[in-house]
Amino acid sequence: MDPGTTPDYDPQAFPPFAVTVDIVVMTIIEDELRVLLIRRAVPPFRDSWALPGGFVRPDEDLSTAAVRELAEETSINQEPDHLEQFGTYGHPDRDPRMRVVSVGYWAIIPDLPTPKGGSDAAYAELVPVAELEGGRIRLAFDHDRIVTDAIALARSSLENTTIATRFCPPEFTISDLRRVYEAVWDSKLDPGNFQRKVKQTSEFLQPLNQTTRSGDKGGRPAALWVKGPAEKLSPPLSRPDSN
């Protein structure tokens, strides 16, 4: 609990804790789920990949710190639609220099139709999660575990919430939404069944009555939709193989 019931311990008498936030930013590019990583410029773990994040300031809420750090360390100029705390990591040895407790947040940046060409993306890069899950990239500190936890939560959130819409631009087609599920879950879904499923889930999607969009190489134009007011999905949209 909070100070006051264990007077036998004085926190001021010990080295202080530092509190940080680590942010797992996800997006989908080329039908691949990716996370935003930076290259560390200073030791420890210099030149290693790591999550963006940083110190919480003395008068700052945790989520405020996450938003601020995300803006500071990222060249992405749009605010995330979704920013959610998912876990806190405080093993005594997780940082070799001092005692650091870090609060993990995950965020979604919608897929931009034009992925920004790497200008000075030497510092921040959107890495496919397949690279991480294949063990081909190792992260600094305990960030491997943090990213693993965030991805697991994201996958399960797609089953039970309407959050997949946050990966899409404001107006999107049902196939766009299906490709989000396919990218995050790394599996194929039946287009017909998916269509019915999301349409019959009330408040999930709202029609725009614009039957807009002409395919680039054929195909029937798709209807456009916007996110509806629902946040939870019941019954859930079950993921294949997850039994």
Question: Which residue of 31, 79, 90, 191 would you call a contact of a second copy, by CB under 8 A?
Answer: 90
Check residue 201 for interaction with a second copy (CB under 8 A): no
For residue 3, CA distances in Å to 10, 23, 89, 119 come to: 9, 29, 21, 49
Residue numbers 7-36 binding a second copy by CB under 8 A: 7, 9, 11-12, 14-20, 22-23
State the Cα–Cα distance between residues 165 and 225, nearest whole angstrom: 10
Helices 174-185 and 191-200, packing angle to 10 deg: 110
State the Cα–Cα distance between residues 148 and 99, nearest whole angstrom: 22
Question: Which residue of 30, 58, 209, 214 would you call a contact of a second copy, by CB under 8 A?
Answer: 58
Q: Which does 54 bind (CB under 5 to 8 A by kind): DNA, a second copy, none?
A: a second copy
Residue numbers 98-127 binding a second copy by CB under 8 A: 98-103
Angle made by CA atoms 97, 100, 101, in degrees to the nearest 5: 165
Binding residues for DNA, rule: CB under 7 A, are: 173-175, 190-193, 195-197, 199, 211, 214-223, 235-238, 240
* CB atoms near residue 174 (< 10 Å): 19
**What is the contact surface with a second copy in residues (CB under 8 A)?**
1-7, 9, 11-12, 14-20, 22-23, 38, 40-45, 50-62, 69, 72-73, 85, 87-88, 90-92, 94-95, 97-103, 140-141, 143, 234-236, 238, 242-243
